[in-house]
Structure 1
């Protein structure tokens, strides 16, 4: 069975810029700190090379491999000011250390307004976690924290000037009892 496309493969193409992390490595495996029941800590992210005219940023984390038919949104953060180029580890927690005033945490698919770590079903195989920084040409996307993650993602797809991604994996190797 083939893997579902990454979310940006089906959105309007835009230029790329650079995102780096002390916590998440491209093609690497998420640490226990980014797992829902173990650490649930959002990763450190830094970005550069975004286009002139960027007026804000958004950060998302999406699992296209979740067995839902529509993937799983782990993190939806938007209306970050254009002079912000880094989020410290843990910025997505419920107390939001390191987030500027005006930043908005949208509801993830856990139903909370924070970073929700990896939690694939036991034995479902490796899941991809797509961390994306979206460079936007508007100061605010005009949505609120109660807007669905899918609607926010669609809006970001239309407003993006450029995107930077890092993709890591995580697998819960357990299986059904007795298997």
Structure 2
């Protein structure tokens, strides 16, 4: 099961006098990932290498280090820990001792992996957007059942005939919740799917 991070986590390591500072955080989309990278890079450092993974989208940068010694090992650290929707920046302050290509790959990949391993993680739940309608009398029982199913209400529209709720429902709870709603409303309401799956 893929996980993302609950918040930004920072991890520092000194390897042969070079300081490596890893910063990892959640990124809902590519724009958020690039903003995280820009916000956590230090222009005064020797290198700011980075990687992100957001579903099928990924990128990485060696930022002047020899090709393949920084960004790719960092991406492998993300993938190796089943992380998704995550961006990582590893900033290096050169300490005067060359690490060699293998040493660099181990330093960048290892620092990123340790940062991710120590960070607080949250499971990514596959959710579906839907709408449902109910009378005012049915609203509180419906809200209670939605909460039990792990669904969240994203919008409420109140009209003369009742309420229309926009909800985000965990995919695994969709069929059971819909069956309950049809039965509860005596066939007057059902979940209408809006679009494809999206993440919580």
Structure 2 length normalisation: TM-score?
Answer: 0.29
Q: Which has the higher helix share?
A: 2
**Whose radius of gyration is greater, 1 or 2?**
2
Q: Which has the higher strand share?
A: 2
